[in-house]
Structures are given as C-alpha cells and as structure tokens.
Structure 1
Amino acid sequence: MNDLINELQLKIERLENEISFKNGLISILSHDSKEMFGNFLWLIEALEDKTINEEDFFNLLPQVKSDAKKNLQTIQDSTAWLKTQYGDFKIKPVKMLVIDLFHHFEEKYAAQLKEKNIKFYFKGDPNAFLTTDRLLIEYVLDRILNNAVKYSFSGQDIYLQEATEGDQIILSVIDCGTGMAEKYVSAIFSYDNPVFQGTSGEKGVGLSLKIVKNFVSLMHGNIEIISAENKGTTVSLFLRKLIE
C-alpha cells in the first residue's frame, strides 16, 4: 500500500512539474513576443508620424537587433523542447566519445571564443565515452557552454571536464566569469529568477536552463550548479555511461 502511495505521489509531483514548466514556457513566449513586436511597431509608427527623427530611429536599431536575437533564441529553445513532446518521443542511445563532443563545440564556438579572446580546453580521459541521446546531450552542453562564454571576460579560460565514477560519467563546464550569488543559484531553474547581462552586453533569455534541466531528466541524469559572484560557475551533468 505504501509503495502504491509513494508511486502516486511521484506521478503527481512529476505532473505538477510538467504543468509548471509548460505554463512558464507559455508565459515567457507570450511576454517576450509582445515586448519585441510592441517595441518594433512603436518604432515604425513613430517614424511614420515623424515623432522621431531618422537619426534617433537608426540609433535605436541596435537595441531592436539585440531584442530580436534574444527572441529568436527563445523560439529555437522552444522548438528543441517541442521535439520531445509530440508523438512518442523516446531516447535514441548513441555511443559517442566525450572528446568528439568537445571538438564539435570547439569548432561551433570558434568565432565567439576568438572574439572574446577565450581559450577552451578539455580535461579528462580522451577515450571516455557515454551512450545517450545525441540531440539532448548536444542541446544541453550547447546552452551551458553558451552561458559560460556569455558570462566570461576576455582572456579567461573555459573547460569541458570529464570524470568517470563507476557506471556514471560527470561532464562539467567550468568558467571563471562573473558567477552569481548563492541566492540566485537556488532559484536558477524557477521562472522568477533575474536575467543577467553578459560581459559584452549579451542578453540572457531566461529559458534555456529550464529546458536543460528537463532534457537532463529525460536522459535519467542530474544537474548541479556551483557558482560564486566574480569567481565563476561550474555546471555539472551526472549521467549514466549507458542508457538502454
């Protein structure tokens, strides 16, 4: 009887988390879209009504571009999440070397790393592997690395670190950037946490890490964030080396 009650409680908790996640996602999409298109419409109408001159109009375009990039990222994040929701989504395990994942992101982020003069290094066993869903693990590492680059200052290093403990593999993205206070770390996956600005003025979306946590759960893993203000952040994924 107790086992049945515990199972029901876990199902209820999982459903509540899913509902909270979906409601938060809808709220972010609605708010960000209204804000961006509202500002853009106001700008166009102001120019048409001649309540703003052309010089001021063009001066505001970089802000409009920044908002558009932020909203595009929100849509891309939402699309990635939607792929796991329609139909009968199942994990598709693929065996992959961790060092190959490192080289994939080293190439993908080459321009951004060069622009901010950031070095990206691998720590761990070059022969280490894991077997999991490629779409999920690449999305998760991509969003974590994106934040590491965003919140790192010029000349700082970022690491992808691998450690193996029994049948578990721990992948950590380590940066020495701005970090955050402990009170923010505990609320990072909620929908009322503050959105921070990157070291080059990049805007945070506020959605990516919530989807990251959802995807890590789909891979039957856990995520841990350790951060300190002005000392950097370490985001660690605890995954089984093999998912069947």
Structure 2
Amino acid sequence: MNDQIDELQLKIERLEQEINFKNGLISILAHDSKEIFGNFLMLTEAVEQKTIGEEDFFKLLPQVKSDAQKNLQTVQDSTAWLKTQYGNFEVKSVKIMVFDLFQRLEENYAVRLKKKNINFHFKGDKNSFIQTDRILLDYILDKILNNAVKYSLPGQDIYFQYFTENNEDIVSVVDFGTGISEKHLHEIFNYGNSVFNGTAGEIGAGLSLKIVKNFVSLLHGNIKIVSSENKGTTVSIFLPKI
C-alpha cells in the first residue's frame, strides 16, 4: 500500500513539474513575441509619422536586431521541445561513442571557438560508450556548450568530461568564464529570471536550460550545475546506465 502511495505521489510531482514547465514556456513565448513585435511596430510607426529622424532610426536598429535574435532562439528551442510532445516521438536508446559527441560539438562550434580563441578539450576514456537517445542528448549537450562558450572570455579553456560512477554515465561541460552568482544559480530553472549577455554581447531568453532539464528527465537522468561568480561553471548530466 505504501509503495502505491509513493508511486502515486511521484506521478503527481512529475505532472506538476510538467504543468509548470508548459505554463512557463507559454509565458516566455507570449512575453518575447509581444516585446519584439511591439518594438518593431513602434519603430515603423515613428518612421511613418516622421517623429523619429533617420539617424535615430539607424541607432535603434541594433537593439531591434538583438531582440529578433533572442526571439528566434526562443522559437527554435520551443520547436525542439514541441517535437517531443506530438506525433509518434519515442525515446530511442542507441549506443553512442562519447568521443564522437565531443568531436561533433567541436566541429559545430569551430567558428565560435576560433573567434573567441577558446580551447576545447576532451577528458575521459575515448573508447567509452553511452546508451541513450541521440536526438535528446545532442540537444542537451549543444545548449550546455553554447552557454559555456557564451560566458567564457577570449583565450580560456572549456572541458568536455566523461566518467562513470554509481552505475551512472556522467557527462560534464566545464568552463572558467563569468560564472553565476549564488542568488541567480538558485533561480536558473525558474521562469522570469534575469537574462544575461554573453562576453561578446550574445543574448538569450533563458529558455534553453529549462528545456535541457526537461529533456534530461525524459532520459530518466538528472542535471547538476555548480558555479561560482567570475570563476566558471560546471554543468553535469547524470544518466542511468542501460
């Protein structure tokens, strides 16, 4: 009887988390869409009514572009999540070589890594494998590395680490960038938290890590973030061995 109660309580907690996630996602989409289109409409109306000069118009364009980029990222992240909610999506476990994950990330981020002069290193057994869903894991690691690059300073290092412990595969991305204050670290998976610019002016809506956490839960794993302001951040994914 107690086991059934515990199982039911766990299902209720997961359902509450899912509802909160969906509500937060809708809130971000509504807010960001209203912001970008509202600003763009205001700017075009000002030009039409000639209440703004050509010089001021061009001064405002970089901000409009920045808002549009943030909005586009939100839409792309939301689309990735929606693919797991409709149709015949199923988590499919396949055997993945860990070093292959590193090499694909290194290739995909080659331009950004070179632009910031960041060294990307692999640490672990190059012959090791993980058994999990490739699509979800690719998204998870892409977003984690994206943040690591975004908040790293030129010339710094980023490490992709893999090891096993307590019958779990543990994949970590370690950077030595701007880090996160204790206050904001506690709020990182909440909705309505602050959005920070990267060290080269990169901007995001703060949505990707929330979807990462959701995808990790689909893989029956856990995510842990350890960070210290001005010292760096370590994001670790714990996946059960299959």
TM-score (ref. length: structure 1): 0.96
Does the 8 Å CA contact 2:73/2:204 hold for their aligned counterparts?
no
Preserved contact between residue 177 and residue 232 of structure 1 (Cα < 8 Å):
yes
Is 1:63 the equivalent of 2:97?
A: no
Aligned residue runs from structure 1 range 33-182, under 5 A: 33-165=33-165, 167-182=167-182
- State the 1:66 CA deviation: 1.1
Letter in 1 for 2:160: L
Structure 2 counterpart of 1:216: 216
Q: Which amino acid aligns with 1:11?
A: K
Q: Cα deviations across residues 4-58 of structure 1 (Å, max 9, x unaligned)? A: 2212211111111111000000000000000000001111111111111112111
Q: 1:13 to 1:166 in 2, by over 3 A?
A: closer
What's the TM-score once normalised by structure 2's chain length? Answer: 0.97
Shift of 1:193: 2.2
When the two structures are aligned, how many residues end up with a matched partner? 242
Q: Deviations over 1:43-79 (max 9, x none)?
A: 1111111111112111211111111111111001001
- Larger mean CA deviation between 124-133 and 58-67 belongs to 58-67
Q: Distance in 2 between matches of 1:130 and 1:178?
A: 30
| 1:101-145 CA-partner distances (Å, limit 9, x unpaired) | 111110111111111111111111100110111110000000110
Contact 1:130 1:169 in 2 (8 A): yes
Distance change >3 Å, CA 28–CA 231, structure 1 → 2: same
Q: Which residue of 2 aligns with 1:29?
A: 29
Q: CA deviation at 1:88?
A: 4.0
Percent identical residues: 71
Helix, strand or coil at the partner of 2:21: helix
Secondary structure of the 2:8 match is helix
Letter in 2 for 1:231: K
Counterpart in the other structure of 2:232: 232
Answer whether contact 1:133 1:219 (CA < 8 A) is retained.
yes
- What letter is aligned with 2:45? E
Q: Structure 1: which 5+ runs fail to align?
A: none
Q: What is the distance in 1 between the residues matched to 2:88 and 2:228?
A: 40
**Which 10-residue stretch deviates more, 97-106 or 193-202?**
193-202
- How far apart, in 2, do the equivalents of 1:45 and 1:132 lie? 51
SS in 2 for 1:164: strand
Contact 2:175 2:234 in 1 (8 A): yes
Please say which of residues 17-26 and 82-91 is displaced more in the overlay: 82-91
